[in-house]
Copies of this chain bind each other. A is one copy, B any other.
């Protein structure tokens, strides 16, 4: 935890922000996460606190709640004292008063009192949309609506105020994020070193997780795959083969809960072949095109399109795309090979504040495009100093997608499908970095991790016994 004044200050700023948005009273409810059962209640997954609870109250213990009275600014923590069984099974822990002091709340009362306090606020109860079913049940009981109807009753001003606050990272948060990114770099270096023909995808994931757990934990399920063209591949059944590419999309979470998120695509046998290298370098250029445009006031949509044009231009040079590059991108033809967005905000969540809704986190309330490709752009709004963004262009040869578009004749003015099919064996290439928007532009977060094809080859060469 940070010192208590950090949390008290954040809560004061939230109250001020709500007041500016016209909410002068009401009770903000923070329902902390509970244990998350795996195959039975007591075999729980590793506990993860809700990120907004963590941001405003800092305590990473399961089963808590908190309230913040907008009119008075009074903060209350709902927490039970440990029992003798807790002592025997889980060891000594601070008492409720100690926890209250750690987060600077005004009082600490038994957890069971939350329901009555929340119900007493009536329609003045403000909360964010729950993403866990137990929170939906608890808030539904308080508001007397079905669990499925709770999210629709969430407070838009509260969502807007939290997004506006959390998306501008404090200096202490940047320190945490860089710690997480540095651990993430070590995850990648360890996997690049361990990769060899005959190894399994599971072993590569396990090696990445080993590094993450030693310093915190993984921030999200790693993608560790020989099939980089499957964008969110969360199975690890494959075996590494000579001549293939390996794609690792993995990041660590720091002890305070901040994320890192990096992707590397490297040659299993140590050398990119000519086609792999050509695609890899297009992806690097796309990342440069996107990140070099980042500065306060520029919309991330513009950065995305700059990267998309770099990809279309590179693919045109290879004969895979054709026609006018700007027209091709405007029409969405590049999405056959780059079907996702350039990146997303990152902080306490790897997709920061995704539970609060892309409409606010990424679009300032504007509707998002429903077009294939563009609908996967998580962030489009103008950048501000202090935002942290991932920049993660990719080029993929997705057999099923190419076949489907070819059959429809889709964008046939811009895509040479016969040529595209000849590149399917390259699979998929993505390169992902984490960037901080600064006054002048943007800087990459974390220590040195050069991504040129030569550097990637040298990491592997140096790792050889």
A residues in contact (CB < 8 Å) with B:
33, 36-51, 84, 87-92, 131-134, 136-137, 141, 146-148, 200, 202-203, 205-207, 209-215, 220-221, 227, 230-234, 339, 348-351, 353-355, 398, 400-401, 404
Contact = CB atoms under 8 A, between A and B. Distances in A.
Contact of A351 (B40, B51, B137, B213): B40
Nearest to A237: B255
Given A40-B353, A206-B211, A209-B213, 20 more contacts: A36-B36, A37-B132, A39-B349, A41-B355, A42-B351, A42-B354, A43-B351, A44-B221, A45-B46, A45-B221, A87-B400, A88-B231, A89-B231, A89-B232, A90-B234, A133-B134, A136-B137, A205-B213, A206-B213, A210-B210
A350 B209 CA distance: 22
B131 A40 contact: yes
A87 B227 CA distance: 13
Contacts of A210: 206-207, 209-210
B43 A38 contact: no
Contact of A39 (B51, B91, B207, B234): B51
B355 A40 contact: yes
Given A39-B355, A348-B39, A213 B221 contact: no
A212 B209 CA distance: 11
Given A87-B401, A89-B231, A351-B40, A202 B213 contact: yes
Nearest to A37: B131
Contacts of A45: 36, 38, 45-46, 221
Given A89-B232, A131-B37, A137-B133, A350 B215 contact: no
A209 B203 CA distance: 11
Contacts of A404: 84
Nearest to A41: B131
B401 A84 contact: yes
A367 to B, nearest CB: 19
A132 B39 CA distance: 9
Contacts of A47: 234
Nearest to A356: B40
Nearest to A348: B39
A215 B202 contact: yes
B401 A88 contact: yes
Given A210-B209, A349-B39, A354-B40, A133 B131 contact: no
Nearest to A60: B235
Contacts of A46: 45, 221, 234
16 contacts: A36-B38, A37-B131, A39-B50, A39-B349, A40-B51, A41-B354, A43-B351, A87-B398, A87-B400, A90-B233, A92-B400, A132-B133, A141-B146, A206-B210, A206-B213, A209-B209
A134 B37 CA distance: 11
Nearest to A40: B355
A202 B221 CA distance: 19
A206 B84 CA distance: 30
A146 B327 CA distance: 55
Contacts of A37: 36, 131-132
Looking at A49, A141, A213, A233, the one whose CB has the most chain B CB atoms below 10 A away is: A213
Contacts of A209: 206, 209-210, 213
Contacts of A50: 39
A214 B232 contact: no
A400 B209 CA distance: 35
Contacts of A136: 133, 137
